[in-house]
Homo-oligomer: A and B are copies of this chain.
Amino acid sequence: MTLRWIIACLAATLLAPTAPAARADEGMWTFQSFPAALVEQRYGVRITPTWLDRVRLATVRLSDCTASFVSPKGLVLTNQHCAEDCLAEHSSPSRDLVEEGYLAGEGSRELRCAGQVADILVGMQDVTAKVLAATRGLGDRAANDARRRTLSQLEQACERASRGPSSGEPLRCESVDLYDGGRYFLYEYRHYDDVRLVFAPERDVAEFGGDPDNFEFPRWCLDMSLLRVYERGRPAHTPHYLKIDFAGPRAGEPVFVSGNPGGTERMLTLAQLLTQRDVELLPYVVRLAELRGRYIQLGLQSAADRRLLEEPLSLLENDLKESREELHALLDDAQLARKRAEEAELEKRVVADPQLARATGDPWAQIAQAERVARDIALPYTFIEEGAGFDSRLFRYARTLVRAAAARAEPSASRPRAYTDAALPALERQLTADVPVHPELERITLSLGLARMRDRLGPDDPLVRRVLGKDSPEELAARLVAKSRLADPAVRKTLWEGGETAVAASSDPMIELARLVDPEARALRRRYRDEVQAPVRAALQRIARARLAVLGTSVYPDADFTLRLSFGAVRGWSERGRQVEPFTHLARMFERATGSEPFRVPPSWLAARSRLDLATPFDFCTDNDIVGGNSGSPVIDAHGDIVGLIFDGNIESIAGTYWFDETNNRAVALDSTIILEALRKVYHAQALLAELGAPAG
A residues contacting B by CB (< 8 A) are: 209, 211-213, 216, 218, 274, 277-278, 282, 285-287, 289-298, 300-301, 324, 327-328, 331, 333, 376, 444, 448, 454-455, 458-460, 468-472, 474-475, 576, 592, 594-597, 599
Q: Which residues of B contact A282 (CB under 8 A)?
A: 282, 327-328, 331
Once the chains are docked, how many angstroms separate the CA of A297 from the CA of B301? 10
B331 and A594: CB pair below 8 A? no
Once the chains are docked, how many angstroms separate the CA of A460 from the CA of B300? 26
6 nearest CB pairs, A to B:
A293-B293, A297-B297, A289-B289, A290-B293, A293-B294, A472-B596
Once the chains are docked, how many angstroms separate the CA of A327 from the CA of B294? 23
Q: Which residues of B contact A290 (CB under 8 A)?
A: 289-290, 292-293, 296
A212 and B286: CB pair below 8 A? no
Q: Which residues of B contact A454 (CB under 8 A)?
A: 212
Q: Which residues of B contact A595 (CB under 8 A)?
A: 470
Q: Which residues of B contact A475 (CB under 8 A)?
A: 596
Once the chains are docked, how many angstroms separate the CA of A295 from the CA of B297? 8
Chain B's closest residue to A593 (CB) is: B470
B471 and A594: CB pair below 8 A? yes
Q: Which residues of B contact A218 (CB under 8 A)?
A: 460
Partner of A459, one of B213, B291, B292: B213
Q: A290-B289, A470-B594, A594-B472 are contacts. A458–B297 as well, Cβ < 8 Å?
A: no
Once the chains are docked, how many angstroms separate the CA of A201 from the CA of B81? 57
- Looking at the assembled complex, report how far the CB atom of A491 sits from the nearest CB atom of chain B, in whole angstroms: 28
- Looking at the assembled complex, report how far the CB atom of A412 sits from the nearest CB atom of chain B, in whole angstroms: 38
A333 and B289: CB pair below 8 A? no
- Looking at the assembled complex, report how far the CB atom of A570 sits from the nearest CB atom of chain B, in whole angstroms: 21
Partner of A472, one of B216, B295, B576, B597: B597
Partner of A298, one of B295, B297, B448, B599: B297
Once the chains are docked, how many angstroms separate the CA of A328 from the CA of B327? 13
Once the chains are docked, how many angstroms separate the CA of A277 from the CA of B595? 38
Once the chains are docked, how many angstroms separate the CA of A454 from the CA of B455? 32
Q: A292-B290, A293-B294, A297-B294 are contacts. A455–B211 as well, Cβ < 8 Å?
A: yes
Once the chains are docked, how many angstroms separate the CA of A574 from the CA of B301? 47
Chain B's closest residue to A597 (CB) is: B472
A444 and B289: CB pair below 8 A? no
Once the chains are docked, how many angstroms separate the CA of A597 from the CA of B454? 13
A212 and B470: CB pair below 8 A? no
B471 and A596: CB pair below 8 A? yes
Chain B's closest residue to A330 (CB) is: B331
A460 and B293: CB pair below 8 A? no
Partner of A592, one of B216, B285, B460: B460
Chain B's closest residue to A298 (CB) is: B297
- The majority secondary structure among interface residues of chain A is helix
Q: A470-B594, A470-B596 are in contact. List 10 more A-B contacts (CB 8 A).
A: A218-B460, A277-B331, A282-B327, A285-B286, A286-B286, A290-B292, A293-B297, A294-B297, A300-B474, A468-B594
A592 and B289: CB pair below 8 A? no
B458 and A212: CB pair below 8 A? yes
- Looking at the assembled complex, report how far the CB atom of A275 sits from the nearest CB atom of chain B, in whole angstroms: 11
Once the chains are docked, how many angstroms separate the CA of A361 from the CA of B459? 52
B444 and A286: CB pair below 8 A? no
Partner of A293, one of B289, B300, B470, B472: B289
Partner of A458, one of B216, B285, B459, B470: B216
- Looking at the assembled complex, report how far the CB atom of A218 sits from the nearest CB atom of chain B, in whole angstroms: 7
Once the chains are docked, how many angstroms separate the CA of A286 from the CA of B592? 28
Chain B's closest residue to A277 (CB) is: B331
Interface core residue of A282, A290, A291, A327 (most chain B CB under 10 Å): A290
Q: Which residues of B contact A458 (CB under 8 A)?
A: 212, 216
Once the chains are docked, how many angstroms separate the CA of A278 from the CA of B592? 31
Once the chains are docked, how many angstroms separate the CA of A469 from the CA of B277? 38
Q: Which residues of B contact A297 (CB under 8 A)?
A: 293-294, 297-298, 444
19 sampled A-B residue pairs with Cβ under 8 A: A209-B459, A211-B455, A213-B459, A277-B331, A289-B289, A290-B290, A290-B296, A293-B294, A293-B295, A294-B294, A297-B297, A297-B444, A301-B301, A468-B594, A469-B594, A470-B595, A470-B596, A471-B594, A472-B596
Chain B's closest residue to A599 (CB) is: B459
Once the chains are docked, how many angstroms separate the CA of A247 from the CA of B599? 68
Once the chains are docked, how many angstroms separate the CA of A290 from the CA of B285? 10
- Looking at the assembled complex, report how far the CB atom of A348 sits from the nearest CB atom of chain B, in whole angstroms: 21
Once the chains are docked, how many angstroms separate the CA of A697 from the CA of B659? 71
Q: A460-B592, A470-B594, A596-B475 are contacts. A455–B212 as well, Cβ < 8 Å?
A: yes
- Looking at the assembled complex, report how far the CB atom of A283 sits from the nearest CB atom of chain B, in whole angstroms: 9
- Looking at the assembled complex, report how far the CB atom of A456 sits from the nearest CB atom of chain B, in whole angstroms: 9
Q: Which residues of B contact A285 (CB under 8 A)?
A: 286
Q: Which residues of B contact A333 (CB under 8 A)?
A: 274
Once the chains are docked, how many angstroms separate the CA of A274 from the CA of B336? 14
- Looking at the assembled complex, report how far the CB atom of A517 sits from the nearest CB atom of chain B, in whole angstroms: 19
Interface core residue of A278, A295, A296 (most chain B CB under 10 Å): A296
A459 and B324: CB pair below 8 A? no
Once the chains are docked, how many angstroms separate the CA of A293 from the CA of B458? 20
Once the chains are docked, how many angstroms separate the CA of A331 from the CA of B282? 10
Q: Which residues of B contact A278 (CB under 8 A)?
A: 328, 331
- Looking at the assembled complex, report how far the CB atom of A337 sits from the nearest CB atom of chain B, in whole angstroms: 12
Chain B's closest residue to A278 (CB) is: B331
Once the chains are docked, how many angstroms separate the CA of A286 from the CA of B300? 21
Q: Which residues of B contact A300 (CB under 8 A)?
A: 474
- Looking at the assembled complex, report how far the CB atom of A303 sits from the nearest CB atom of chain B, in whole angstroms: 13
Interface core residue of A324, A328, A459, A592 (most chain B CB under 10 Å): A459
Once the chains are docked, how many angstroms separate the CA of A211 from the CA of B324? 25
Q: Which residues of B contact A474 (CB under 8 A)?
A: 300
Q: Which residues of B contact A294 (CB under 8 A)?
A: 293-294, 296-297
